[in-house]
Structure 1
């Protein structure tokens, strides 16, 4: 099957595996937060971080038109702000901009780029440069990466709100109300200290998300060669809803997550040729290559 004929639409009916997944994620979050005092703290952190990262994968799925034909229903499934810091609506708009593949990795046009422009690099001081270089290693992405992701996002959003960006204040007002409901559940109902949720659920969940995105994209002259494939995802493949097969997702975002592996196996050779052979043998391969070594340099090489 040529790549041009890969399935484009995959939602003639409601996708029940995704609906069931949403029940598992939100039900699991409610159970872990409610019974956290009866569980070992390590288990609370592991489950909490997993569930928050898993919800991020679910949000990514629903913003691409899953699991129903109704955008209102899909958005409602992705709306709850379990991560606290990221409004679903902002994430949706930003991520759909990221899917303009001709701009992938461009630090100006791609909102998910890990690169900076050469001009910005020249303006940075030695400490900021050292932090960005460290962030290009896997250990850096997992430790300081979530703080950079959250801090830079909130700083940019604050500028937009202050500048009066149309609709931004309404989005954040609704988000604040939604976060208040989450915090009321955590503090008033579950009696959970906020530091446990912030460190265990939010930060650890952010680190798991940073692992997924670490090697997804790399600057290259051809747009097709900027998107990677991570084969043999294992349990992390389930956490990321097979988004480790990233080049296939970019080619066909309308295909449901549970159908990606079979489609990938059927078209593996063509997909590997398409992305120039940017393939990793599982996340262990990425760990061995980049735990202390930089995936790339922070200044975008093509600018």
Structure 2
């Protein structure tokens, strides 16, 4: 993590945040009274807070993938979270960070790219927009994901066991299971939702993350009845991971475009489910918004 003096603060009267140029990673998110909504990165449980996942989400087979028959190596979730982004815009309520392809990225990812991560706070809402641009004359293939870890429990007095995640729509399809190597098993896992609600409990995460593919929902609400909640919107992200380490005081709500390899996948990277391809000059936007608001009766009905 960057030193505190390197963090970029943005704020409104209702919400404040800091972002590190290292990985363009959100480091804190606080309400008007200074209560922490984001996990603090304690390495006892997990040393990250909200990493940016690019150019892969999850793991590829043995950390290897293929582009036009050539094998390249990438660690889990890619390299963006370990690279220092340039600060290209900075205001009291917003900031933009940029990462561009260079010799280091070309060695492991043979594409030209420009990735801008824009953070903006308006009232009690934090918007994050990742703008991926293909500046070259050949197609660009990539996945992208967000990985924010929120306090569990949130700092509003409700017990940990009362917290749940409520989906915008019912999502009855079976979900996916990760194996010990981080790949997705062929056999699906029973869906733990009750209607639209995922009641949070540690036993859900004994094997790893819950992976929801091809969602109808583009919004979830996280919190406990009778207390302020976080609404997480992800309008263009079709997949969602939910994860914690059993017993840890955080839960990750992770909108994704793409996911880990299936256990038997050996094809080209561009053909992998969830990978998008940008034509020359194209920009693709991957956005989420986190809004702090009062709970409504429908949130946990």
Normalised TM-score (structure 1): 0.25
Larger proportion of helix: 1
Higher RCO structure (Cα 8 Å, ≥6 apart): 1
Larger proportion of strand: 2
